[in-house]
Amino acid sequence: MFNIKSPSRELYDQVFKESNDKGFLTVTASGANNIDSYPFVKIHPPEDNTIRESVDQFQGDLSMRLEVFALMSNYGSFELIMFQLKLMLLSYDSLVSYQIECQSCNEEVSEDTTTNDALYHGTIIAEYNVI
């Protein structure tokens, strides 16, 4: 049996690790409900539209979505996290086993009114080609 990860798993692992390495409180999408400290980064599993061409060759598209939540009273920290994450996502041209190319990286910022805290809610979506 081959011990190789899918392109989406490699991307997810790399993004999660690097976000943590930057010192950001980083959680999985399912683990975000247990967080009551701000700011934090929520990482979603990538959308994977790749096809397998051979045992270790894939081609297609991946889409990675990150969300950042921060108190409105701390905009500077929020903006810095958003900027550093966007630069990180734009810098990827390879994973452990795959070559990728960033096609777009978009961000959106809104107010989050779902808690008692006044929050900024940022979303970054990066789209990649697996080549």
Q: 59 versus 117: which is more confidently predicted?
A: 117
Note whether 43 and 28 are within 8 A (CB): yes
- pTM for the whole structure: 0.90
Q: How many CB atoms lie within 10 A of CB 94?
A: 12
pLDDT at residue 117 tops 60: yes
Report how far apart, in Å, the C-alpha atoms of 130 and of each of 26, 58, 103, 114, 121 are.
25, 7, 10, 36, 29
The pLDDT score that the predictor gives to residue 126 is 98
Report the pLDDT averaged over residues 49-70.
85
Pairwise CA distance, residues 107 & 81, whole Å: 12
Q: What is the pLDDT of residue 40?
A: 96
Whether 69 and 112 have beta carbons less than 8 Å apart is answered as yes
Please give the mean pLDDT across all residues of the chain. Answer: 91
